[in-house]
Amino acid sequence: MKPQADFGVVGLAVMGANLALNVESRGFACAVFNRTTEKTRDFAGRNLGARLVPGYSIREFTASLKRPRKIILMVKAGAGVDETMAHLLPYLSLGDVLIDGGNSYFRDTDRRVAMMAARGIRYLGCGISGGEEGALKGPSIMPGGDPVAWKHVAPILKAIAAKTEDGPCVTYLGRRSAGHFVKMVHNGIEYAMMQMLAEFYDLMKAGLGMSPEEAQKTFAKWNEGRCGSYLVEISALVLKYRDPDTGKLLVELIQDEAAQKGTGKWTSQSALDLGVPVPSITAAVDARIISGYKKDRVAIARVLPAKSRRLRGAGARQLEGACYAGFLAAYAQGLHLLGKASAEYEYGLNLAEVARIWKGGCIVRSRILDVLRRAYRAEPRLAHPFLAPVFRKALAPVTGSLRTVVSAATAASIPVPVLGATLSYLDGFGRARLPANLIQAQRDHFGAHTYERIDRPGVFHTKWD
Ligand code: 6PG
Q: pLDDT by residue (tens digit) across 181-215?
A: 999 999 999 999 999 999 999 999 999 999 999 99
Question: Is there an atom of ligand 1 within 6 Å of 363 CB?
Answer: yes
Please tell me if the CB atom of residue 195 comes closer than 6 angstroms to any atom of ligand 1: no
Query: Is pLDDT of 349 > 80?
Result: yes
Quick: pLDDT tens for 388-440: 999 999 999 999 999 999 999 999 999 999 999 999 999 999 999 999 999 99
333 lines ligand 1 (CB under 6 A): no
CB of 103 closer than 6 angstroms to any ligand 1 atom: yes
CA-nearest residue for atom 11, ligand 1, is 131
Is ligand 1 within 6 A of the CB of residue 415? no
Give me the catalytic one of 24, 190, 199, 320: 190
Is residue 461 scored above 70 in pLDDT? yes
What is the position in ligand 1's atom list of the atom closest to the CA of 263?
16
Q: How far is the CA of 195 from the centre of ligand 1 (A)?
A: 14
What's the pLDDT tens digit per position in 107-148? 999 999 999 999 999 999 999 999 999 999 999 999 999 999
Closest residue by Cα to atom 10, ligand 1, is 129
- CA distances (Å), origin 128, targets 357, 362, 401, 439: 11, 8, 34, 43
- Nearest residue (by CA) to ligand 1, atom 17, is 260
Q: How far, in Å, CA of 265 to CA of 252, rounded? A: 27
User: Over the chain, what is the mean pLDDT?
Assistant: 97
Question: Does the C-beta of 11 come closer than 6 Å to ligand 1?
Answer: no
Q: State phi, psi for 462 to the nearest 5 degrees.
A: -125, 145
Cα 462 to middle of ligand 1, angstroms: 51
What's the pLDDT tens digit per position in 248-290? 999 999 999 999 999 999 999 999 999 999 999 999 999 999 9
Dist. CA 49 → ligand 1 center (Å): 32
DSSP string for residues in 211-224? -HHHHHHHHHHHHH
DSSP 8-class letter at 241:
P
373 pLDDT band (50/70/90 cuts)? very high
The rounded distance, in Å, linking the Cα atoms of 126 and 353 is 15
pLDDT cut 90: percent of the chain above it: 99
Distance CA 319, CA 167 (A): 33
pLDDT for the residue 3: 78
User: Please, which residues have CB within 8 angstroms of residue 111's CB and are 6 or more apart in sequence?
Assistant: none
Output 227 or 465, whichever has higher pLDDT.
227
Which atom of ligand 1 is the closest one to the Cα of 362? 7
Nearest to 354 by CA among 169, 187, 175: 169
Atom of ligand 1 nearest to the CA of 130: 8
Ligand 1 lined by 190 (C-beta under 6 Å): yes
Within 10 A of 99 (CB to CB), how many other CB atoms are there? 29
Reported confidence tier of residue 1, pLDDT bands at 50, 70, 90: low
Distances (CA, A) of 137 to 8, 161, 185, 452: 18, 8, 23, 57
Establish whether 190 is a catalytic residue.
Answer: yes
The percent of residues in the chain predicted with pLDDT above 70, rounded, is 100
Banded pLDDT at 2 (limits 50, 70, 90): confident
CB 417 less than 6 A from any atom of ligand 1: no
